[in-house]
Amino acid sequence: MIQVVVLAGLLAAAAFAGAVSATASQDTGGQDSIDLEALRSLYKRPTAIPFPESAPYSPQLATLGKMLFFDPRLSGAKNMNCASCHNPSFGYEAPVELAVGGLNEPLSRHAPTTLNMAWVTPLFWDGRAADLEEQAAGPITAPVEMNGKFDEIIATLSDIAEYRTWFERLFPGTGVSRETILTAIATYERTIVSGWAPFDRWIDGDEGAMSAAAVNGFRLFNGKANCAVCHTGWNFTDNRFHDIGLYTDDIGRAAVDDSMPGNRHAFKTPGLRDLTYRAPFMHNGSVADLEDVIRHYESGGAVRPSRSEHMIPFELSDRERDDLLAFLQALTAEVSETPMPNLPN
């Protein structure tokens, strides 16, 4: 499964490079002559959510997973749930620099979004989890996060008649277990998909869906600003790791895989959907707003051996910066609603 996703990412990146190189002028930095029509197909939303064969989608299973996602009884002190750090109101992140755990202490990193994770692998800022099932277990059991213990969680859920009934119905002969809990949560997480944005309507041919400034920002995104070299496809991520020159002591991907020098201080490329809800930004929440994000990339970041080859300083005019910002804002869904589940007693 991971090999398929990585291969798809490589093919998409190659297709993108071909589209830009075939339509962009070297003399103007690529912006003026980028063929928008050639790029639209590379950003078209998928029509279906991928689910693993081992855990096919059902509305009942996703509903059970949603209840667990919002249930504080999965935490050791019964004082937080998955949504404590992945809040729908904030693009499934938390509006603080560093996530706060069950001990009311800040963690070492900003909470990453759970939007569109059905298309993302590996997971976490450093890619230490291969799939959503493995990812879900991490925060639940981490002592500084939810500090849950699965034997206690299983006992708690098994004592609740509605949970016990649904687990037996969906997992006959197994019922409540570590694996079935994680399967249910992961199934729900795969259904967390960003809503239709002005950009999507524009991609589908509604020329009035985005302002002229946002359309020019899209040109800049794919040309002069070079954002699309890493933020590719409809979810705007290449599913890879890059050192973007942030001043940080966190070694990122190198803690998981130190086989390549470029992994030091490298972090997963985040998707860009619903950005207007997701400040602050970066793995450590060190960048307050989108304007500062743009200025960071313009600067090229800290110069060091591991810094990505794509981090090349450039300069935007005030108008270009505003246009790029307008495009990034057009990636936010026009309607976003997440009804809270009723938790069983």
CATH number at residue 19: 1.10.760.10
* Calpha distance 283→285 (Å, rounded): 6
Domain range for residue 280? 2-43+195-329
Mean pLDDT of 36-41: 87
Q: Which of 167, 190, 213 is the last residue of a domain?
A: 190
In-domain check, residue 296: yes
Say if 345 falls within a structural domain: no
Q: Residue 324: inside a domain, yes or no? A: yes
Helices (H), the chain: 2-23, 36-40, 59-69, 132-141, 150-158, 161-170, 178-190, 198-203, 212-222, 290-299, 318-329
Is residue 255 included in any domain, yes or no? yes
Helices marked H in 171-223: 178-190, 198-203, 212-222
- What's the pLDDT at 160? 98
Does pLDDT of 343 surpass 70? yes
Poorest-pLDDT segment among 56-60, 164-168, 306-310, 337-341: 337-341
User: Is 344 part of any domain?
Assistant: no
Q: What digits encode the pLDDT tens for the residues 272-309?
A: 999 999 999 999 999 999 999 999 999 999 999 999 99
Q: How confident is the model at residue 335 (pLDDT cuts 50, 70, 90)?
A: confident
- Which of 190, 216, 248 is where one domain is finished? 190
**Which residue among 190, 206, 231 closes a domain?**
190
Number of domains observed in the structure of the chain: 2
Residue 231 shares a structural domain with residue 296? yes
Are residues 74 and 173 both part of a single domain? yes
336 in a structural domain: no
- Compute CA distances 183 → 83, 135, 269, whole Å: 17, 11, 25
337 pLDDT tier (thresholds 50, 70, 90): confident
One domain for residues 156 and 266: no
* Claim to verify: residue 256 and residue 288 sit in the same structural domain: yes
In a domain, 24, yes or no: yes
Q: Are residues 207 and 319 in the same domain?
A: yes
Confirm whether 335 is domain-assigned: no
Whole-number pLDDT of residue 32:
55
Determine the average pLDDT of the residues in 136-152: 97
What value does the mean pLDDT take over residues 201-229? 96
**Phi/psi of residue 75, each to 5°?**
-95, 155
Are 13 and 88 in a shared domain? no
Q: Are residues 321 and 199 in the same domain?
A: yes
Is residue 222 domain-shared with residue 295, that is, in the same domain?
yes
My answer on whether 157 and 216 are in the same domain is: no
CB 163 within 8 A of CB 175: no
Q: Are 69 and 59 in contact (CB under 8 A)?
A: no
Question: Which of 19-28, 56-65, 197-206, 221-230 has the least mean pLDDT?
Answer: 19-28
Which residue from 329, 305, 119 is spatially nearest to 209, judged by alpha carbons? 329
**Residue length, the chain?**
345
Instruction: Determine the distance from the C-alpha atom of residue 148 to the mean position of all C-alpha atoms in its chain, rounded to a whole number.
Output: 24
306 shares a domain with 321: yes
Q: Which two tokens stand for residue 283?
A: 């793995």
Residues 55-101: pLDDT tens digits? 999 999 999 999 999 999 999 999 999 999 999 999 999 999 999 99
